[in-house]
A and B are shown apart, each in its own frame.
Chain A
Amino acid sequence: MNAPVPGLAPTTYIGQDTPRANARRLLAGRGQYVDDLRLPRELHAAFVRSPHAHARITRLDLSPARKSRGVFWCGTGADVARAVSPWVATLTHFKGMKSAPQYAVAVDRATWQGEAVAVIVAQTRAQAEDAAQLVEVEYEPLPAVTDMETALDAATPVIHPDLGDNLAFTRGVDTGGVADVFAAAHLVVEDTFRFGRHTGVCLEPRAITADYNPSENQLTVYLANQAPHMMRDIFAKHLDIPEANVRVIARDVGGSFGIKVHVYPDEMAIVGVAKLLGRPIRYSADRLESMSTDIHAREHRVRAKMGVDRDGRITAIEIDDLTGIGPYSVYPRTSAVEGNQVVNLTGAAYDFRHYVANLRVVFQNKTPTCQYRAVGHPIAMAVAEGLVDHAAQKLGIDPAEFRRRNLIADDNYPYTSASGMKFEALSHHACLDKLLALMDYPALRAEQKALRARGIHRGIGLAALIEVTNPSAAFYGVGGARISSQDGCTLRLEPTGWVTAQTGVTEQGQGTEAMIAQVVASAVGIPVEHVRVITGDTDTGPYGGGTWASRGAGIGGEAALLAGRELKANILALAGVILNRDAAGLDLRRAQIVDAATGEPVLPLAEAARIGQYRPDTLPREFQPQLSVTRQFGQRDWPFVFTNGIQASYVEVDPDTGFVKLLKHWMVEDCGTIINPLLVDEQLRGGIAQGIGAALWEEVLYDADGNLKNGTLADYLVPMAAEMPDMVLGHVETPTRSSELGAKGAGEAGTAGAPGAVMNAINDALLPFNARVTEMPFTPERLLRALGKIA
């Protein structure tokens, strides 16, 4: 039996480090971003934006701008509204949720600083900006609602009087009897956590070119976007064009992080103006516009407490989450999801039964917030992990040991969390064990102790996490949003034996195309170089949801697997007919039709493809080779397929300056079947970097009147390479049984856990000073205040 098999063995790319094909193209400067595109007769747009957070527009005179050099057209909110109907962003499964109609360009009233009030179209962008400066706008400033703590007070003006108050959404969870459990607890720890409003900073800003052809009532939109089919539906609806006549093309996209999956009023305006003028209109947000109009996220204040018994077991958690979302809920996903996730996910890595959560989502006159990478997770994880470390410290239990006592046991699945989340199979303990081994936890603790004695203050912080991935329709579809939770993959066997794959999931630089190619090559039995992947064109690709909620590999990959298997079966059927053999005895390996038993090549795939495409006349009359296939996949077993993981941060705090130096970061996670370890590790590292950004640097600052104070990248601090610690990564693989591939998502776990890990590390370092910080980002000033160095 051990004799070497003659011929070809089956091979797979699943689990193999496979460099992505598009990296070379992008690095060579051959990317095709929206701004690289040139269309005949195109015009450039610029916006006049409100300098006030809240103001009535009492006069708006476009005539000086109309006379400016190169100007083609100028319009107000009312002008644009002739082409674009307003929208209201609510979901029916968020009971009682409300928001107000939002226009593409403000009509009569601006509700945040940066909201567009007029649009200028000119031959060049510079000319459009020159003209924008000439527009005369008179504003009557209105009181701005900026502090979410007072947004619901009776004395606070209501931003949308028709709604009655500034409450967009509220939700409560109460498992019952929680007060009694707290009363009986051996220890109750309490903290108030604050999270700085921040945003996802993409290298490529939002960019759009809209081209309307009146002769066919046909709209083509080139858009830096994650969900082309969603946008197609929305353009069709709000511009009143049949959906079939709308084509959305997202070629290369330079980072997205959830920023590019929403409806932006200025982009709707561009599309509307293109329709009004019948000429292609281009627009890219500049960095200042990005900072004031890209969605923000994460402005939360969470009061939280945790009850623990004598053995250090969590008995109850209670949270009160208040979050401010700007003046409108963002279309079509709504701005209630983030807070909802905080309610769903807080503490859900742990085995406890008593939970109370209250959420209030309030309107404010600041940039609208919506889903940004790891939606709600970083908040939920930091709250729970902060409480866990607090309790462990009070009880004198090592934080790793405390987690061991409380994380849901690896053999306790399926499991339903106190908040109602259903977990198929998680591996918290396996991940914890692996993490502690990777970091040599006892040695690190010993080093920390020795250095502390010498006045060097280092801290170790752990953060367990779960991540929502592979969502079913439970996320949006059930709430009435026309956002697909399924995706398709279409494969076409070329006459050369190569395969062209089209997929509904999209590429923003994370390697989706490489992942699809690996799955297809493995399923069909061809070299990965023989697969070409096309994404992001609604006219040609299969219908699907696109990229969000870490679904690309789990949903799009599964569709690719199913399509690949089907195509292979069709190819073998063809080969069987050509060879006059039973197809069941054939296999396809490395582009060769082989004898399945021996692996011996019997017919090159290219030859079968040639015959199938050009010489069907040589085949029996009743046999038609099927060399294109499409398969769809939607995950149906669970509302969401959860992943899990754990992170550790090692920092050094300078107690004189309040500075935090990141020394090292570890993460072990379980995203099920790993298709491409290189890509998964990239996701983890990038995600961790963004989470660290939240912990140490990123915060959009406003003054009390709603003026944005840090609209440039000199003032808004993103994480940079020089400050990043080495990251050591490990994996545990628990494939999901909801698909054949078994892959779960990996896009957000890094971001989900890093802020909590860094916070816990800082607080661990601060222990000798009896100081504690719970307000992100952890600026030197906040540390100095906690240390009592400044008032």
Chain B
Amino acid sequence: MKAPPFAYRRASSVADACALLDAHGGSARILAGGQSLIPSLNLRLSQPELLIDISQLAELRGIRVSATEMIIGALTRHADIERSAEVRARFPALADAARQIAHPAIRNRGTIGGSIALADPAAEWPAAALAFDMRFTAVSTQGERSIAATEFFKGLYETALLPGEVLRSIHVPLPAAAQRAAFGELTRRSGDYAIAGAFVTASVTGGWLGGTRAAFFGVATRPLLAARAMRALDGSAGDAAAVAAARAHLEADLDPIADLYNSRATKLHLAGVLLARLVARLAAPGG
């Protein structure tokens, strides 16, 4: 299929992009890597009148580290993150996750900002944002604001971004020395969206888990923190009994929904298997 007709503007700056968004109301869409937007146009699933191309804005691309956080520009490609020595050193789970996103050609174009702004429930970055307690900076002609990931993902493809806003950067707090993280997902073919995936982070001191965060993707209409399961793990050694207790909460935490090939029961089961495996990795000595 061919995309329906649309106008195209290449934004000269973030401010320009914001101004264009304002001028065109709800009928304009930001074009970043195009790896989700273009397929949806070609399937005629959406028909925006104007595409505002931000893909050439160098100011939006790149990874920086400050004293307290890592700042990832919205236009940073999945492949940039996959190959970043900085990410690999400080957040190996994020580097691992980047490699699981789609296929190399898509990772070379698709951006972390596009992924977060789209909020596909089966995407890796939104769940990572929850697990690592990230914050996002959004800008508009009105100024800028910071939004916590935990406040951002509202529903299926629904976020806290307001119509005139452009997502500028993603802020990842630098981990404390004791923080550990594990990532895992189950896909039937490499590059597919996951049937279920999760990031688990915790501080592990003397073998005991604390501040555990377990974020799941691919199981519900949006990425979710499994709050009850997290509490059940806190203060435990991540042993089989604690994991079993945590698993028992997943149904209430996640309220999984079926996809094309997997029933709710399968999703729940697989989320539980993932949780067990990731916690085992976190809790393993030297893990």
Contacts and interface: CB of A to CB of B under 8 A. Distances in A.
A781 B263 contact: yes
A378 B260 CA distance: 25
B43 A712 contact: yes
Contact of A789 (B2, B186, B190, B269): B269
Contacts of A129: 1-2, 4, 44
B260 A701 contact: yes
A658 B196 CA distance: 13
Nearest to B265: A790
A657 interface: yes
Interface in A85-141: 125-126, 129-130, 133
A570 interface: no
A722 interface: yes
A715 interface: yes
Nearest to B2: A126
Interface string A758-791: 0000000000000000000001110010000111
Interface string A697-738: 100010000000110101101011011000000000000000
Contacts of A779: 188, 261-262
A781 B44 CA distance: 32
B139 to A, nearest CB: 32
Contacts of B266: 658, 780-781, 784, 790
A656 interface: yes
B155 interface: no
Contacts of B44: 129, 133
Contact of B188 (A286, A709, A712, A717): A717
A781 B261 contact: yes
13 contacts: A130-B5, A133-B44, A288-B1, A657-B186, A657-B270, A659-B188, A697-B188, A719-B189, A720-B189, A720-B191, A780-B270, A790-B263, A790-B265
Interface of A: 125-126, 129-130, 133, 286, 288, 656-659, 696-697, 701, 709-710, 712, 714-715, 717, 719-720, 722-723, 779-781, 784, 789-791
Contacts of B186: 657, 659, 780
Nearest to A720: B189
B4 to A, nearest CB: 6
Most B-side CB within 10 Å, residue of A288, A723, A781: A781
The 6 closest A-B pairs by CB, nearest first: A126-B2, A722-B190, A790-B265, A781-B266, A286-B1, A656-B273
B119 interface: no
Nearest to B276: A656
B195 interface: yes
Given A790-B266, A790-B269, A717 B192 contact: yes
Interface in B136-150: none
Contacts of A784: 266, 269
Contacts of A709: 260
Given A717-B188, A722-B191, A781 B262 contact: yes
A780 B190 contact: no
Interface string B183-224: 000101111110100000000000000000000000000000
A723 B265 contact: no
A191 to B, nearest CB: 23
Contact of A723 (B190, B195, B263): B190
Interface in B247-271: 260-263, 265-266, 269-270
A235 to B, nearest CB: 27
A133 B3 CA distance: 12
A780 B195 contact: yes
